[in-house]
Structure 1
């Protein structure tokens, strides 16, 4: 047996021993909590270290299982395939081609919500194989719109005739207008929460959250920085002292607390941050713990400096000031927003709240491309107006506490993952999430470890002709 595989087998057995010994430890000490030599705080601290070591071993297993090079090559190849398709759709050889028009300036939407809108526009473009015309001119006081920061979506096919524009649904129309609220009728099967069937096997084999990876590909294409914005980012990184290792910390409060989110104390965020650094220190020395802070609550800055003096806090004070409600529509606030999202997505670990639309870009393309480097303090990744966020029970569950959901093996649970639902039924951070059993029609908290996500795979038009244009993909 080759040496890498031998080491992987040894590590796999070590993980098995880790789990068995952790269970023995937990069972013994819970039964003896009344002992004078024992207390709950000590048991929890020891248990945390047990799991940290097990997590370290799992990470090591990923490094020595012999597939690391394959993962890196496959990730690059699959992304290159999708990026090539997007490039050809946006730069068709036969322009004027069929187009789809998307207005990025719809009233009543914040920038995070607009990015959800952009995602739906891209999905419609991809699913119908139309060139996307994205109108962002004068967005928030920026005459060039998003092109103030990013490269144009197309170099060759940018004009359209408004007189030819019709609502979506007519296949032969030269220009269709995508609805501003992202709800075309009929609703395409390739809308969230699904992935394209033609790349689904490769994607499921490669990635822990295929849907998040899929949505990240659109942002990867749309947010290719132009030189001016790249220079701004580089200067900001130097001025702030942004360097690895660093944890991205996004704390959004203000208007989100009114309807969707709940207040979460700083200590909850920092517990995740400290967990990352303790895990990292099992593998390497860390001379300085750093966090990059993006927040709309200026009170967090003195609080984190006072309570966690061992951390170097990296942030852009101008960005924090720009998040005040009366400042958000100014041109510079958009620059600060995209810079913050960039730094969050490039951190070694990301701690955030998924109720924040601002996290869409950072979560869709997580730090170093790995979902195990993202921790949400409130809820799972969610997409506006998604349909089919369903899990299937791997094992039956009989409720043991009030509010728990009964499940039989094979039952499907709709997670009803709306922001308003989270506010009414927040995660208790105990391994249970809120959902509805589609068989019994009952709502309740279900044990996540007994379920597996049901991934929807959508049939779309063949990209065979487009793929042939680039023989190397």
Structure 2
């Protein structure tokens, strides 16, 4: 794979991947906009209503539904009325997923069954199918594995790009904000997580941990331009972070949305103002030249996925302070050893080239020292150098992408 990436020019890779993206989008559009919504195979997903599932979590649940609809060649109906962010549903901020999603009633779907042979399948968006994680369409694999460093990331990026098409008024508001805060590159985006989410799905990180990588990025740029103005776009729900950064890093210009400077209560977070704020955070982060965040966060992962969808390859444009990229709450990733590893320390795991392991994606198991925590069914559990293995994707048939 590395040899293929090195041999292909940036222009060639962009052309090939753009062509593949156009093909994927065309197929999604065709499937999602049937001529007759009443006489087509449907997958009906109801939005995730779990209290601890915020916008990023809900978005990745939607991606799971889109993936399932594509594989089974069904039109997706996504029911989001009564959404905690906007009572009229996702269409408040995003264009409808298809020409069927604005139907005024779904009473006729009440008897739908969750069986693959049924004409209509009805399910909750958080009803996760195991095959969704770490898989890509077999039909797209030859191109992706040759021209992209992270094929799974590219695949998820295409789906989130489709799911997050803004309503015209929201697009206008975004462009106005870009002008107002003078969002121009080079800029590093950082998402600093605080609050209740830290207890269950992420650890606390000091602001200096994020800024270490911002400093590295701009110090490298200063080798060719000593007068560059270091800028950081800040995404956070903690109103105390911005004053701390401004005081500790006076040479930086910090760009923020309207929502960073005020206390974010649950009433604000789960409402239209909070929805606009988190959407803008994701989109601004995705437009940065480099991102520093924690990939245990759904918001961080969504920003990385949108970035990947809009660039040739974003694999080197992010630094996570904890885990690697994944979809939803999948805490163990399948990897395959690309080289032998003979332990130097007692906590390390022995590997032979070709061995399969499960790598932990739990934030507490990540120490950013170049190692990952892995488990092998034969040799047990231990740390391995990350460069001696890579994720192993499952290739699944998606008939919709046949030539």
1:69 correspondence with 2:14 = no
The whole-number CA distance in structure 2 between the counterparts of 1:430 and 1:102 is 40
1:444 correspondence with 2:382 = yes
Cα distance change, pair 285–145 in 1 and its aligned pair in 2 (3 A): farther
- With the length of structure 1 as denominator, give the TM-score of the two structures: 0.78
Which string of whole-angstrom CA distances, capped at 9 and with x for unpartnered residues, describes residues 452-471 of structure 1? 3222111232444xx6xxxx
Which string of whole-angstrom CA distances, capped at 9 and with x for unpartnered residues, describes residues 349-406 of structure 1? 1111011111232121226521111111111112225487222222222222242222
Alignment of 1:1-400 (within 5 A): 67-96=9-38, 97-108=40-51, 109-140=53-84, 142-155=86-99, 158-159=102-103, 161-165=106-110, 166-173=112-119, 175-184=120-129, 187=130, 189=131, 191-284=132-225, 287-319=228-260, 321=262, 323-366=264-307, 369=311, 370-386=314-330, 389-400=333-344
1:94 Cα deviation from its structure 2 partner? 4.1
| 1:192–1:387 contact (8 Å) kept in structure 2 | no
1:283 Cα deviation from its structure 2 partner? 4.6
Cα distance change, pair 229–397 in 1 and its aligned pair in 2 (3 A): same
Question: Rg bigger for which structure?
Answer: 1
Cα distance change, pair 286–340 in 1 and its aligned pair in 2 (3 A): farther
The whole-number CA distance in structure 1 between the counterparts of 2:336 and 2:210 is 30
The whole-number CA distance in structure 2 between the counterparts of 1:78 and 1:387 is 30
Which string of whole-angstrom CA distances, capped at 9 and with x for unpartnered residues, describes residues 135-192 of structure 1? 122322524322222211113564364333423223232x2112343235xx5x4x11
Structure 1 unmatched runs, 5+: 1-11, 13-60, 468-473
The whole-number CA distance in structure 2 between the counterparts of 1:141 and 1:271 is 34
1:209 Cα deviation from its structure 2 partner? 0.9
The whole-number CA distance in structure 2 between the counterparts of 1:78 and 1:212 is 14
| 2:48–2:61 contact (8 Å) kept in structure 1 | no
Structure 2 unmatched runs, 5+: none
1:404 correspondence with 2:361 = no
The whole-number CA distance in structure 2 between the counterparts of 1:322 and 1:105 is 26
1:430 correspondence with 2:369 = yes
Paired residues in the alignment total: 393
3-state SS of paired residue (2:178): helix
The whole-number CA distance in structure 1 between the counterparts of 2:8 and 2:48 is 48
Cα distance change, pair 158–89 in 1 and its aligned pair in 2 (3 A): farther
The whole-number CA distance in structure 1 between the counterparts of 2:320 and 2:302 is 14
3-state SS of paired residue (2:220): helix
The whole-number CA distance in structure 1 between the counterparts of 2:195 and 2:219 is 31
3-state SS of paired residue (2:262): helix
Greater helix share, structure number:
1
1:282 Cα deviation from its structure 2 partner? 3.6
The whole-number CA distance in structure 2 between the counterparts of 1:169 and 1:321 is 47
| 1:91–1:157 contact (8 Å) kept in structure 2 | no
- Indicate the structure whose relative CO is greater, using CA pairs within 8 Å and at least 6 residues apart: 2
1:318 Cα deviation from its structure 2 partner? 2.2
The whole-number CA distance in structure 1 between the counterparts of 2:54 and 2:347 is 35
1:99 Cα deviation from its structure 2 partner? 1.1
The whole-number CA distance in structure 1 between the counterparts of 2:316 and 2:72 is 33
The whole-number CA distance in structure 2 between the counterparts of 1:271 and 1:432 is 20
3-state SS of paired residue (2:37): coil
- With the length of structure 2 as denominator, give the TM-score of the two structures: 0.90
The whole-number CA distance in structure 2 between the counterparts of 1:163 and 1:213 is 37
